[in-house]
Amino acid sequence: MTPNEQRNREPKGLVFNIQKFSLHDGPGIRTIVFLKGCPLACIWCSNPEGQSASQELTLSADRCMGVEDCDRCVVVCLEKAIGRDENGALQIDRVSCDGCGDCAYVCPPKALEVSGQWVGVDEVIRIVEEDDAFYARSGGGLTLSGGEPLAQGVFVRSLLTAARSRGIDTAIETSGLCNWKTLLDVAPLADRIFFDLKCIDPQKHERLTGVSNRKILENFRRLRAEFPENDVVVRTPVIPGFNDSEAEIGAIAGFVHEAGGASAYELLPYHGLAEPKYAKLGKRYGLGQLETPSDQRMIALQRTATMFSPAHSA
């Protein structure tokens, strides 16, 4: 088999960002690979470009040169999905748009861009390996995020296998909503798993994420039973008015303890920094204006969370 044939046969993943020098998603300095596609639709989602499992067109309206100076995108679009409103501002008919990317290709100021590129395992590994020296000094490595990375299970398994064969530390961030077989296959390849648990009440979970948490809780139980020694870190995004009470956090912590525990339980304060991303996708941000929980509030909630931590239990 020729090298080109090998590249054509290797699994490919739909990636919307590769972020270097991250310090927040695993130990040391890390490269975060963000994969598209997620079965949840959390109204606070900080990466809305990761929700769709397809390539998407984004528009940064402030970069657009205007119809007087440039109309290349309108001319090149065969689907007639790009036009101007009554004020001359660019608008996209997202029902008609097929995501071909021709308009983005001819856009000089990059006001139009395609979110999501199909890449092979070798290509990602080459990018990750550029920072080997930083990983060695800091204990860092590769973290897969999203979206929901386990929605692209074949690609993720191949990518983690390639990373581990090169001695690169590996981590996954997951919502837990995936096929159990996928999680079973991937868990041994990850040095740590960041597992999101947003709330325990199934009705509330479905109301604010679009899905039930039954499968998520089941997968967590099975993960801890099957791999009790694995490094599993539970994370909860703290959303004001949703799960920012001691009762909510205590219920999650109690479930984790009953299901076999975790290496740590981290609370992540809500932030509204993602709102501009929604505008670029032509979507409305569902939460409006919410304040970030105060440091004092987060300390109080973390105190509840650590009641069930390994150190406290010991």
How crowded is the C-beta side of 89, counted as CA atoms within 13 Å?
7
- 8 Å CB contact between 177 and 40: yes
- Where helices occur in the chain by DSSP H, the ranges are 3-9, 72-76, 102-105, 121-129, 132-138, 153-165, 180-186, 202-209, 214-226, 246-259, 275-280, 295-305, 310-313
Q: Beta strand 30-35 with 12-22: parallel, antiparallel or unpaired? A: antiparallel
Q: Is domain 56-114 in CATH 3.40.50.300, yes or no?
A: no
Give the CATH superfamily of 3-53+116-313.
Answer: Aldolase class I (3.20.20.70)
Q: What are 9-43's pLDDT values in tens digits?
A: 789 999 999 999 999 999 999 999 999 999 999 99
Q: What are 213-267's pLDDT values in tens digits?
A: 999 999 999 999 999 999 999 999 999 999 999 999 999 999 999 999 999 999 9
- pLDDT at position 69 over 90: no
More confident of the two residues 140 and 309:
140
Q: What are 251-262's pLDDT values in tens digits?
A: 999 999 999 999
- 8 Å CB contact between 277 and 226: no
More confident of the two residues 286 and 260:
260
> pLDDT band at residue 3, thresholds of 50, 70 and 90?
very low
- 8 Å CB contact between 303 and 246: no
- pLDDT at position 312 over 50: no
Residue range 272-289: mean pLDDT, rounded: 88
State the chain's mean pLDDT as an integer. Answer: 93
Provide the residue ranges of all domains of the chain, joining segments of one domain with +: 3-53+116-313, 56-114
What per-residue confidence (pLDDT) applies to 7?
54
What per-residue confidence (pLDDT) applies to 307?
76
- 8 Å CB contact between 170 and 160: yes
More confident of the two residues 308 and 163:
163
Integer angstrom CA distances of residue 162 from 32, 124, 139, 148: 15, 10, 18, 20
> pLDDT band at residue 287, thresholds of 50, 70 and 90?
confident
What per-residue confidence (pLDDT) applies to 29?
98
Residue among 222, 135, 132, 124 at smallest CA distance from 178: 222
What per-residue confidence (pLDDT) applies to 4?
52
Token pair 């074949």 is found at 154
- pLDDT at position 310 over 70: no
Is-same-fold flag (3-53+116-313; 56-114)?
no
